[in-house]
Structure formats: C-alpha cells, structure tokens
Structure 1
Amino acid sequence: MSTSETSKSAPPPSDQEQPRIRREDFDPDRAESLARLDAMRRAAFQRIRQAPDAGQLARRRSLLGFAKWALPGLALVLLSSIAAWPEISHLLNQNRAALKEMAQLRVESGNMEQATYRGLDAHDHLYMITARTTHQQGPDRVDLVDPVADIQLSGNSWAHIRSDRGVYMQHEQTLTLDDHVVLYRDDGLLMNGPSADLDLKADVIASRDWVHAEGPFGRQDAQGYFLDQHAGIMQFTGPGLTVRNDDNGPPSAAARLHLQGLKTEK
C-alpha cells in the first residue's frame, strides 16, 4: 500500500450521525407571537378608561386625609420616644435603690424581715403595720415580732402603738398585740399594758388586761379599756384608781359654793 493511500482522511459523517446546532433564543413562531402582542396592545388602546365616581373620590380623599395626619403623628411618636429614652433609662437606673431595699428582705419558708402592711379603715384613713420579722401562717394569719402600727385618725391626728409580739389577720383587718403594749396618741395620751386588740377597720382598740394611762386628764389605772378613736370614746372598765389633774388644783366655783353652804349650816 502506498503512502498516499494511508494518509487519506476519513469521509465526513452524515447528517443523521451528527445533530445540527440550533439557537436557543430562536423562536420559529415569532411572527405569531408578535401578532398576539400587537393585538393585546391594540385592545389596551381601545379600552375606555372610566372616571372615578363620587364614592371612589370620597374614599380617596379620606385615605389621603388619614395619611396626612397618620404619617406626621407616627413621626412625632418616634421622635418623642427618641427624646424620652434618656429619661426612661434614668428611671430604670433609679430602681437600683428599690432593688437594694428588697435585697434586705429575706424570705425563707414564709419568714420575712422588715415587712410592711398598709390598708384603709372604714373611713378611708390609712394605717401601716411594720415588723422586724414576720412568719406567714396560711393565707390570712401573719405572726409578727416587734410590730409597730401607725394609724391615721380623724382631724389629721394619729396614733402609734407597738409591742413585742403580734398577730395580724389580713382579711379581717385585726391586730392582736402581746407583751409590753405601748399606745401613744398625738393629743398626749400614753397607755401601757400587757395586751391589746385592734380592729383596724372600725378604728377600735380594747383590752381586758390591766392598763396604766396618762394624759392631759391625769392618770388612770384600770383592769381594761375600750377606745373608739373615730367616735372619740374612751372608757376604762373594772375597779381602778383615777387621779385627775384638776384634783390637785384650786376648787372650782361650784365646789367653793358647796363648801360655803356647808360652813353656813354649821
């Protein structure tokens, strides 16, 4: 075999053996698509646009009016929040003092230190009860150690009463005090006794134990007392000793006339 025959190239493949390359963006139905788009454009141009009626115009006006006030209002709220944020941050920082005070309270199995209870009586007068330590006995009863009650009375007057132990019934608004009960009122009344029962709602204090009282009227020792602070009633019960301040002073006019009548009869 000759060299020319061995170097002769192979015949090219036929159309069936190799697929023809076609452009992907070529649309054979382009004329039909253009005609369809032209028809849609002509239909849009031929469509008659109707003018809005009175109802639609009113709705648009209301929407524009709402946007006219709502958007500036929203902007004002945002600006106010930005301006007020430093003050809010300052108030949050002030809560540290309250948290520090709450840290002094220790609650363990119903026990609390430096507790405070506030309430109103039947005449909307404020009273406040504080105690060195308290122990919660159920949902109503609270046992107190070194309780102190400050009571607001009529006419901007007040009373202060304390003892070594006490029991506070929260729902009934009653306070029972025991051991070294001392009552002081701003009119100068001072009372000492071993026990006392307080109806904080009715503003009444009573006791069946002995009591020693001192005040502008003098001194009084009795086996019990009843004190209605709203009605201004103070009663001592049982046998006792009364020393009035006017007993040591000069006799009254009626007493002088009585003495003169006794001398005349003699």
Structure 2
Amino acid sequence: MFWSGELAGVTHDDTMTVDGAAGQPGTRHIGPAARRVKVDWRYTKFVGLMRLLLPASAMILAATVIVWPSFNVTDSNNVVDFEAIPGLLHDDRPTMSNARFLGTDKDGNPFTVTAEIAWQEQGYEDLIYMEVLQGDMMMEDGMWATIWSDRGVYDQVGQLLIVESNVNVFTDEGYELHSDYALIDLDQAIAEGHMPVRGQGPAGLIDAQGFRITDNGDRLFFDGRVHLTIYPGVEE
C-alpha cells in the first residue's frame, strides 16, 4: 500500500532536487531501481528525522503503561480505569486535567508527557482520550526531541496510539516533521500516516502524501508523489 511513488521537484540554483519527471531540463530522473539506492549521507541523515516519530510517540505509551497504572489498574489486561480514581469524574465521565507524567523508557531515557485534559468514555475504558498533548524525551545519543498534537487516543488493549491535528516533531539538531495524522502501533513497532507530511532540517526538505515506518524505524516508505530537496555543501 505504501510506496515511494514518484519523486518530483523543481531545480534551484542553491539546491539539488530529485525529479521523477523525465525529460525536464535541469532535472534528474531516478527510475524504480535507483529509488532503492541510498542517495547520499545527507539524504540518509535527513530521513532519519522521520524515524524519530516512533520512539517519540512511544513516550506517550510509556507514560500510560508506567505512570497511570500507579493510580489504578484493573485486573484485566492492565487497563487503567479512571473511574476508580477519586475526584476524577467530570461531566459524568472520568477526567484528568493538566495531566503531567514523568518517567523513563525501557532504555533509561527520561521523558515528560503533558496533556491539558485526558478522559475515558463510559463503556470504552480501554481507550484514553487526550487533548493538547506534548511529550519531551532525551534520546540515547543525547539528542532532545519533542512531539505534540491537538488530540490523541490511546488504545490500551491494542497498544495503538493515534495523534491528529497539528502533529509536530522537533529536535534540538534542527529537524522538524509536520503532519495532521499518525497511527503508531507499539506492539508491532510501526507507524504510518495517510495525510500530507512535511519534514525539514539542515540537509533539506521533503514533502509526501503519506508515510510508513517499520522494523523499529529501520525502514521508511513515503507514499504518493514525493518531493525531496537536498541542500549542497552540508557538512556531516
């Protein structure tokens, strides 16, 4: 379903752009075989930004399964039950306002997750809904990353996290990722999005109509018409 598709772009004096349209002056056509070849280190490092989505989103999962269970966990499937926490009922639904969670991931990296509001709906206790959520994490190599979005839903049983509306990922090395939707399957270690996605960083820019990350971030696929711009003269 997800494939790199066509690579399209427009050349510029200060950039190198890969173009999938053959026969255009000043453009470079890359055929299907060449698409599977690593372009250069700048492209590889730049695309590495996309791989941050999976571990950064895993922070939110980690907060859910590590911190929230310290309040109350049902006997079935380790599902957090907000109703069992005193004082969290609001508008007849269990609600937590200005939630803030601190912890470490399985590798000992610290993270912080905040949400303006988190709640559960009656009859759907396996789902946790969140609004205005943000996660911050220090990666193994010392790099800092943050992810935030307007809304999120976490399926505790299926270990699925959906973030939507203004999904943004930033790192302290100048890399950014922007989209409006991402589905993260923490059990299978994959992430995907079917909305337009834009990434940028010191190495260049990339635009696509969707993406899929598999194998714990080791494999990345862009969907639809992909536009990649790589800046020249970037030092590793």
**What's the TM-score, normalizing by structure 1?**
0.45
- Contact kept? 2:190, 2:217, Cα under 8 Å: no
Mapping of residues 79-94 of structure 1, within 5 Å: none
1:134 equivalent to 2:118? Answer yes
Q: Name the larger-Rg structure.
A: 1
Are 2:88 and 2:94, in contact at CA under 8 Å, matched by a contact in 1? no
> What is the CA distance between 1:110 and its match in structure 2?
0.6
Q: Size of the alignment, in residue pairs?
A: 144
Shift of 1:148: 1.2
Matches within 5 A, 1:104-143: 107-108=89-90, 109-117=93-101, 121=105, 123-137=107-121, 138-143=124-129
Structure 2's unaligned 5+ residue stretches are 1-86
Matches within 5 A, 1:119-198: 121=105, 123-137=107-121, 138-170=124-156, 172-198=158-184
Q: After the TM superposition, which residues 1-266 of structure 1 pair with which residues of structure 2 at under 5 Å, given as runs?
A: 107-108=89-90, 109-117=93-101, 121=105, 123-137=107-121, 138-170=124-156, 172-199=158-185, 205-227=191-213, 231=217, 234-246=220-232
User: More helix per residue: 1 or 2?
Assistant: 1
Cα 1:129–1:228 change in 2 (3 A) is farther
Cα offset, 1:132, TM superposition: 0.6
Distance change (3 Å), C-alpha of 1:226 and 1:187: farther
Give me the CA root mean square deviation: 3.2
SS class of match (2:173) = coil
Offset, 1:120: 5.3
Contact 1:166 1:177 in 2 (8 A): yes
Gaps of 5+ in 1: 1-104, 251-266
Q: How much identity, in percent, do the aligned residues show?
A: 26
Q: What secondary structure, in the 3-state scheme, does the structure 2 residue paired with 1:146 have?
A: strand
Give the TM-score normalised by the residue count of structure 2: 0.50
Compare the two structures and name the one with the higher strand fraction: 2
| Per-residue deviation, residues 57-83 of structure 1 (Å, max 9, x unmatched) | xxxxxxxxxxxxxxxxxxxxxxxxxxx
